[in-house]
């Protein structure tokens, strides 16, 4: 069986704009729309990305971190190599706190908890839980409440029991929140890679219901602790 080639993947077109939440001479804080790549791919069809768009207006902008294609929300970009180095150091030393809002399938029983499962690279595009080769991955969650979710285009359709949660990842593994949600038994609605066993949760929402709502870090020049917030759109 032939393995899928990552270079063959073509992202869907994204017609939403990037919102600039804050800017000074050193950094940008933006709201990335869902279904937009963070970085352009090797395939010319995947030129459109956060990096490509931002560089049109800010040629010196440098990416510090990424969000998955389907994930929306707050990102910080550096406007010089010096600032990039300072921000990258904060990320590598885990001085940056990230908070996400997610809508999970089903009703979570616990109001809070932790998911600590090691994540390893699987066959593209998947990650996998693996005690032998996986890197440590820790996710803290807090239940905000239970609700019935219904897709906008299915106003007379089925309502799905869901749980709205806040996620605080202590590590930054690829697909960490998505695969940890699946392992918890409550996949994120709209997730195509890590759905429920019957695959139904992928089609319960028109997008991945995961949004980066808060980013906390030290300003690379002033040292001021910044708590940047980006409201959840769902």
Catalytic sites, residue numbers: 68
Taking the mean position of all CA atoms in its chain, how far away is CA 88?
18
Q: By three-state DSSP, how is residue 200 classified?
A: helix
Structural contact between residues 64 and 228, judged by C-beta atoms closer than 8 angstroms? no
Residue 91 parent element (H or E): helix 81-92
Eight-state DSSP code of residue 5:
P
* Tally of CA atoms within 13 A in the half-sphere of 179 that contains its CB: 22
Nearest partner of 121 among 138, 133, 109, judged by Cα? 133
CB-facing half-sphere around the CA of 54: CA atoms within 13 A: 27
> Using CA atoms, how far apart are residues 119 and 16, in angstroms rounded to an integer?
32
> In the numeric block, which tokens belong to residue 11?
């992202």
Q: Write the DSSP string, 140-197.
A: EEEEEEEEEE--TT-TTS--EEEEEEEEEESS--TTHHHHHHHHHT-PBTT-SSS--T
């Amino acid at each position: 069986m032939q393995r899928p080639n990552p270079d063959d993947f073509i992202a869907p077109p994204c017609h939403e704009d990037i919102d600039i939440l804050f800017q000074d001479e050193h950094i940008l804080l933006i709201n990335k729309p869902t279904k937009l790549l963070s970085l352009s791919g090797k395939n010319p069809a995947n030129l459109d990305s956060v990096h490509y768009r931002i560089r049109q207006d800010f040629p010196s902008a440098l990416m510090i971190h990424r969000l998955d294609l389907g994930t929306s929300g707050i990102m910080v970009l550096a406007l010089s190599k010096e600032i990039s180095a300072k921000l990258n150091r904060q990320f590598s030393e885990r001085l940056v706190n990230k908070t996400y809002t997610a809508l999970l399938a089903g009703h979570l029983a616990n109001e809070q908890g932790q998911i600590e499962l090691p994540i390893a690279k699987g066959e593209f595009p998947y990650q996998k839980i693996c005690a032998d080769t996986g890197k440590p991955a820790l996710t803290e969650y807090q239940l905000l409440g239970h609700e019935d979710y219904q897709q906008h285009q299915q106003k007379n359709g089925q309502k799905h029991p869901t749980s709205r949660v806040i996620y605080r990842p202590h590590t930054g593994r690829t697909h960490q929140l998505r695969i940890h949600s699946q392992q918890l038994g409550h996949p994120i609605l709209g997730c195509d890679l890590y759905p429920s066993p019957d695959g139904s949760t992928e089609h319960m929402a028109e997008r991945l219901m995961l949004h980066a709502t808060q980013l906390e870090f030290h300003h690379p020049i002033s040292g001021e602790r910044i708590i940047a917030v980006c409201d959840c759109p769902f």
